[in-house]
Structure 1
Amino acid sequence: MAVDPRGADLKRYLAEDPGGPVVMLNLLRFREGGQDSYDQYAAALEKRFLSRYGARVLYAGSGSTPLVAEPGQDWDAVLLVQYPSREAFSRMVADPEYQQVTHLRTEALSEAVLQATTPWPDERP
């Protein structure tokens, strides 16, 4: 299973940019013992990269009892991270210094969803 964005994924992500800030939904499933590696990654992200690229964690929490889910649709952790733009996220993941720590995330995860979200208009029914 893929846990990291690939070049083609990033190109499509940028091509579909509606403009403005983006909130990235992160659904994470850890490998056995992977939580420690992810914690190291998260600490590096918080300390060195989020402010550099104008990002902030809106929510981070552990998965709990799924109320509506098929088998295998439960997650160990959920994060919402806001970036000022899709381009800012893309620049961060391309940063050579970030590339030196991203292996911690890759090693930690057995499965992940990383999905850009767009806000609903205020006049939604």
Structure 2
Amino acid sequence: MVAFSPAAFDAFLLNTDDAPIVMLNLIRFQPDGGRERYREYLRMATPILARFGARILFGGDGLPTLTLGSGKDWDAVVLVRYPDRSAFGRMVADPDYQVAFQVGASAIADIHLQPLHENDAGR
């Protein structure tokens, strides 16, 4: 299921930090054609992302987890760079994106969205 935490989403957007954001998407697909529907979502969403200055940095299939702990395997990982928090908020509210979002939501059984700031380790 795809659902934002209202408190976390609001706090994220209310922050006035204008630094670029990379959104980590850990995705588990629905077993009944979810991966194919997600590909359709990407076809729909990619030009919308571009309108808001965002772009996909990486997309790949998950392999088995190598570490111990409570982590779980994910079907796919996608990293999307947004120029700032407000670009993400405007995109999510965009009517064209809402149409694509419904396709994406139908593809996903579970998702973890983690906004990231670049630090010195990324340089």
Cα distance per residue 1:63-101 (max 9 Å; x no partner): 012101546611000011000001001100100111112
Segments of structure 2 that go 5 or more residues without pairing to the other structure are none
Which TM-score applies when normalising by structure 1? 0.86
In the other structure, the counterpart of 1:43 is: 43
Using the aligned pairs only, state the percent identity.
41
Partners of 1:103 and 1:15 in 2: CA distance:
25
Segments of structure 1 that go 5 or more residues without pairing to the other structure are none
Q: Calculate the aligned-residue CA RMSD, in Å.
A: 1.9
Q: Taking structure 1 as reference, are residues 108 and 70 closer, same or farther at Cα in structure 2, changes over 3 Å only?
A: farther
Partners of 1:19 and 1:7 in 2: CA distance:
21
Corresponding residue SS for 1:25 = strand
Q: Taking structure 1 as reference, are residues 51 and 25 closer, same or farther at Cα in structure 2, changes over 3 Å only?
A: same
Q: Taking structure 1 as reference, are residues 6 and 96 closer, same or farther at Cα in structure 2, changes over 3 Å only?
A: farther
Could you say which structure has the higher helix fraction?
2
In the other structure, the counterpart of 2:30 is: 31
Q: How does 1:1-125 map to 2 (within 5 A)?
A: 2-32=1-31, 33-46=33-46, 48-70=47-69, 73-120=72-119, 122=120
Aligned length: 120
Corresponding residue SS for 2:50 = coil
Partners of 1:19 and 1:91 in 2: CA distance:
14
